[in-house]
Amino acid sequence: MALHWRSLLCFRSKTRLLIIFTFCLTVIHSLGNDVDNCDKLQLGQYVCKEPKIDDATQEPENCKDRLAWVECLPAPNISCRLSNGTQFKFSGEEVGFNKSILCRNVSGYSYKVALALSLFLGWIGADRFYLGYPALGLLKFCTVGFCGIGSLVDFMLISMQIVGPSDGSDYIVDYYGARLTRLTITNETYRRKQLSP
């Protein structure tokens, strides 16, 4: 019976030692890995540069597939891991990572020109010809803008950016100008929500 108690006490002390050892390893490991990747920094810990805007398109110069990249600088005395895995302490002057921003696909159709054509020459279909809809432009020309009602409707649709260029691109709008962003929910939206952290 005494042998049974001794083995039980020995087992309990070994178990306690194992638990304490595991706890110490966990604490040491967590202290050593308190540095995250640079692209996981929180909003106040970095500042991103303004994108360079192309004068012709009024979009960032490196816009491709509706995404552009801007350089971000971590704040002074922030330590994080670079994309190659090395830990670096920043002084506030070095680029730490690039962040993607949304941009628009434009192909030469100006919002201001389309709106002016719709307002002043919409009754002869000039707005629809400009946007690449020749059949509707000819129909508006022959019916004098559907007796003015079609011209008014087209002016409202173009001003709200519902009717755009026929090639599916976006209007050229000043980068800091009044832009409308259409919100839609599709299956792709659901997948992006599932994939985002």
pLDDT band at 190 (very low <50, low <70, confident <90, very high): low
pLDDT tens for residues 51-96? 999 999 999 999 998 899 999 988 888 888 888 888 888 888 888 8
Mean pLDDT of the chain: 82
C-alpha 14: how far from its chain's center? 54
The pLDDT of residue 33 is above 50: no
Show Cβ contacts of residue 63 under 8 Å, excluding neighbours closer than 6 positions. 54, 57, 103, 104, 105
The pLDDT of residue 31 is above 50: no
Structure tokens at 171: 């209007």
What is the sign of the dihedral through the CA atoms of 163, 166, 169 and 170? negative
pLDDT band at 163 (very low <50, low <70, confident <90, very high): very high
The pLDDT of residue 122 is above 70: yes
Model pLDDT, residue 42 = 84
The pLDDT of residue 40 is above 90: no
67: amino acid identity, one letter: L
Tally of CA atoms within 13 A in the half-sphere of 196 that contains its CB: 6
Angle (nearest 5°) at CA 177 between 174 and 180: 105
Gap between the terminal Cα atoms of the chain:
57
Domain coordinates in residue numbering, the chain: 38-103, 108-172
Q: Distance between CA atoms of 123 and 132, rounded to whole angstroms? A: 16
Task: Point out the least confidently predicted range of 9-13, 89-93, 115-119.
Answer: 9-13
